[in-house]
Amino acid sequence: MTDYDALAARIRALTEGETDEVALMATLACEIHHADDRFDWTGFYRVTAPRMLKIGPYQGGHGCLVIPFSRGVCGAAARSGQAQIVPDVDAFPGHIACASSTRSELVLPVVGAGGRLIGVLDIDSDQSDAFNATDAERLGRILDDVFGTL
């Protein structure tokens, strides 16, 4: 399991004073990806046009390049502004299979100052039912700490 306290401390130290969103995303993708063996693909999708996500920094195999808000788990998180914990991606209506190895998924909205949606953090696992509410809450807190003032 992830040592979220240690992860948060590392991310705080690495990102202190940085305001570039892409640099922050790259650092978080790397740190989060290597923090837990459950995390098979870890990356960001950035809001680049109205109701459109485009791939940002990530760790793992190739991701989908573009995801509309109307599709998939990432789109659901962007549309709703709520964390999406999907224990079985095959049971999620409209799931986009960017990688055939993905069995479960956690997607969190990334929100900046004033409630501006910056993008989503997408974490895939090759294990079924890999994520829980604690993962969503602790990772959400890290995202808020890093991006909440941008």
Tens-digit pLDDT profile for residues 64-74: 999 999 999 99
C-alpha distance from residue 100 to each of 76, 77, 103 (Å)? 20, 21, 8
List pLDDT tens digits, range 134-144: 999 999 999 99
The SS3 assignment for 57 reads strand
CA dihedral 14, 16, 21, 27 (to 10 degrees): 10
Number of domains the chain contains: 1
Predicted confidence (pLDDT) at residue 28 exceeds the cutoff of 90: yes
Mean pLDDT within 1-23:
97
Type of residue at 119: G
The SS3 assignment for 26 reads helix
The SS3 assignment for 41 reads strand
Most distant CA pair in the chain, distance: 41
In this prediction, residue 78 has a pLDDT band, given cuts at 50, 70 and 90, of very high
Which CATH number covers residue 26?
A: 3.30.450.40
For residue 107, the cross-strand partners are 84, 122
| Residue 121, domain extent | 4-147
Helical ranges in 34-132 per DSSP H: 72-80
The SS3 assignment for 107 reads strand
In this prediction, residue 17 has a pLDDT band, given cuts at 50, 70 and 90, of very high
CA dihedral 121, 91, 63, 45 (to 10 degrees): -30
pLDDT value, residue 144: 98
pLDDT value, residue 95: 86
